[in-house]
Amino acid sequence: MTDRYAVIGNPIGFTKSPFIHGTFAKVTGQDLSYEAIEGPIGGFAARVDQFRAEGAKGLNITAPFKLDAFAYANELSESARRAGAANCLKFEGDRVIAENFDGIGLLRDITLNLGVKVAGRRVLMLGAGGAARGALLPFLRQDPSELVLVNRMLSKAVALAEEFAGRGPLIVSGYAELADLAEGYDVVINATSASLRGEMPPLPGNVFRGAELAYELAYGKGLTPFLQAARAEGVAKLADGVGMLVEQAAEAFSWWRGVRPSTAQVIAELTVPLS
């Protein structure tokens, strides 16, 4: 019987996940179907109960349900527990196992697809929401020389630093104090949601100087104010989050099916030039 999977979110109309997983299934010869479900706000659990009762094997989760999915699971991977959110579920009988592949997807896109090293480098991460939180451990495990975490609401970044104490060289800063920290970041990552509203995090002008890569987690937004600022400061490599999206999907696919699909062709098909 064909195994069923889906992505759930609200809204869900523009999701690329059915295309990505459909392509992975085709190239790996896996017999599965993959649909998009518009989950009712406040009705996540009932909708997932129904999907499981229909025999579903797994689910990807996008905004705004990552916390609901975390609460729904009865087993958590370390990355889901660290992120405090789930972007992927696997159903095995009564077991509902939660994973979070966003952080590893971001790391793989930067290191493997874009060829930018994190080990021994200075990384500046903007934002302390779900995406930044999920990325901290995979990035710290790469042994950066320093990972500076900046957030508008400083208390959120401070709480994260306490949680990840002893895991690596994590430094917390507010935006205003950032100008006083030495410049010379190698990688600057925008893990805020500012670009979704066409906004720019309040960065001092010097943070991009000498950087190899400016990475915007949002995708499909073209040259966001963050990427425009990086380009104006001479950063040569600019990327949006489409590669991260495909890489986290490949992690989910491998976890569900035990087969790792290659990602290059799907990323190429989904990439819109940043100009």
The residues binding ligand NDP (CB under 6 A) are 102, 127-132, 151-153, 156, 191-196, 199, 201, 217-219, 241, 244-245, 248
Q: Residues 39, 8: contact at Cβ < 8 Å?
A: yes
Rank residues 93 and 273 by Cβ distance to ligand NDP and give the closer one: 273
Q: Is 105 annotated as a binding residue?
A: no
- The distance of closest approach from Cβ of residue 92 to ligand NDP in the complex, given in angstroms and rounded to an integer, is 25
- The distance of closest approach from Cβ of residue 133 to ligand NDP in the complex, given in angstroms and rounded to an integer, is 7
Rank residues 213 and 218 by Cβ distance to ligand NDP and give the closer one: 218
**Catalytic residue check, 117:** no
Rank residues 55 and 64 by Cβ distance to ligand NDP and give the closer one: 64
Rank residues 6 and 217 by Cβ distance to ligand NDP and give the closer one: 217
Give the rounded distance of the alpha carbon of 183 from its chain centre: 26
Handedness of CA 164, 165, 170, 176 (dihedral sign): positive
- The distance of closest approach from Cβ of residue 258 to ligand NDP in the complex, given in angstroms and rounded to an integer, is 23
Catalytic residue among 57, 66, 90, 156: 66
Cα distance between the two ends of the chain: 45
Q: Is 127 annotated as a binding residue?
A: yes
Q: Is 131 annotated as a binding residue?
A: yes
Q: Residues 254, 229: contact at Cβ < 8 Å?
A: no
- The distance of closest approach from Cβ of residue 148 to ligand NDP in the complex, given in angstroms and rounded to an integer, is 14
Q: Is 111 annotated as a binding residue?
A: no
Q: Residues 160, 84: contact at Cβ < 8 Å?
A: no
Q: Residues 71, 48: contact at Cβ < 8 Å?
A: no
Give me the residue label for tokens 């989904």. Answer: 270
Q: Is 217 annotated as a binding residue?
A: yes
Q: Going by C-beta distance under 8 Å and a sequence separation of 6 or more, which residues neighbour residue 104?
A: 79, 138, 247, 248, 251
Query: Which CA distances in Å does 89 have to 92, 110, 133, 134, 203?
Result: 10, 25, 19, 16, 36
Q: Residues 263, 23: contact at Cβ < 8 Å?
A: no
Annotated binding site for NADP(+): 78, 127-131, 217, 241
Annotated binding site for shikimate: 15-17, 62, 87, 102, 219, 248
Instruction: Provide the annotated active-site residues.
Output: 66
Annotated binding site: 15-17, 62, 78, 87, 102, 127-131, 217, 219, 241, 248
